[in-house]
Each structure stands twice: as structure tokens, then as C-alpha cells.
Amino acid sequence: MARIFRATYTKMRTVRDQKGRVVYDTKNGKKAARRENVLGKNGKPVLCEARKWYIAYRDADGIVRRVAGFTDKKATEQEAARLEREAGRRKSLESSSAGRILGCVSGPLAQRLEQGTHNPLVAGSNPAGPILLGSALAAVEV
């Protein structure tokens, strides 16, 4: 199940001297304006919420991904459902025999066959490999 949330960040401000000029620091030979946290009445840094909603979901490989969504929560929920469906499809394709043979975990199959990448049957010294696998793929996808 995907998790929908708004990311938080610490409000920052640019440091200025008594004449109102920006104070710069030099780090690794680059000049950058000095920034510091804005403190609230209680003396702690002020936390703000991002405008966008974010999606955290587990992809087909089991890795937790964090993706920016939309400013609308409903649209972000729909995008999260789409991402989960896509991950489920990739996982089921990976576990199927055709998926294991073709090595098509991600990306369009036709594109992967043309490139000859991530497929031990295509990559190598067999020049007829892409042709044979292309016809086998057409038979499997029908």
C-alpha cells in the first residue's frame, strides 16, 4: 500500500550584515550566501509543509521509492494507485516463465530486444538471437 504525505522542511533565511548586505561564505572555491534556520517563538526551527503531496511505494524489486505527486490529494492518490499497479505487473512478469526467459523486468520489451540489453540470450555472439526472441515474444504476447 502506498503512503501519501506532505514533506516537511525547515524555513531558512539569508544572513545579512548590519548594513543589509548579504553575507557570503566560500566553500570549495565557490561563493554562496550564508543561510540559517528561522526560529519560532519557542526557540525551535520553524517547520513548513511542502505544497505538493508525495508518494512512497514499494517497487517490483522491493525498493521503497519516493516520488513527487501533485498539489491535489485525490490526483496524487490516483497516481499512487497507478504506480502500485505498474509495480505489481512488473513483479508478476518477473515471476512468470516468459519474463524470466526474456529478462524483461523494466522497460518496453520491444525496446529491450532492439537494444539487446539485460538479456543473456540476445547479448553475445548469436546474431539471430533478437530475431528468434522477437518471434517468440510475439507468440507469448498474443
Mark whether 36 and 106 lie in a shared domain. Answer: no
Mark whether 21 and 50 lie in a shared domain. Answer: yes
Mark whether 77 and 131 lie in a shared domain. Answer: no
8-10 and 30-33 as β-strands: parallel, antiparallel, unpaired? unpaired
Mark whether 19 and 82 lie in a shared domain. Answer: yes
User: How confident is the prediction along the chain (142 residues), in pLDDT tens digits per residue?
Assistant: 899 999 999 999 999 999 999 999 888 888 889 999 999 999 999 999 999 999 999 988 889 999 999 999 999 999 999 999 999 888 887 766 655 555 554 555 556 556 655 555 555 545 545 555 555 555 555 4
Neighbouring-strand partners of residue 36: 13
Mark whether 103 and 91 lie in a shared domain. Answer: no
Mark whether 7 and 53 lie in a shared domain. Answer: yes
Query: Rounded to an integer, what distance in angstroms lies between the CA atom of residue 69 and that of residue 77?
Result: 9
Range of the domain at 48: 1-95
Mark whether 102 and 88 lie in a shared domain. Answer: no
Counting the structural domains of the chain, the total is 2
pLDDT score at 124 = 54
Mark whether 11 and 81 lie in a shared domain. Answer: yes
pLDDT score at 125 = 46
| Cβ atoms of residues 40 and 81 within 8 Å | no
Mark whether 57 and 104 lie in a shared domain. Answer: no
Which whole-number Å values give the CA distances from 14 to 10, 11, 34, in the listed order?
13, 11, 6
pLDDT score at 14 = 92
The CB density around residue 58, as the number of other CB atoms within 10 Å, is: 16
Instruction: Tell me which residue of 99, 105, 102 sits closest to 132, measured CA to CA.
Output: 102
Neighbouring-strand partners of residue 55: 4, 67
Mark whether 32 and 14 lie in a shared domain. Answer: yes
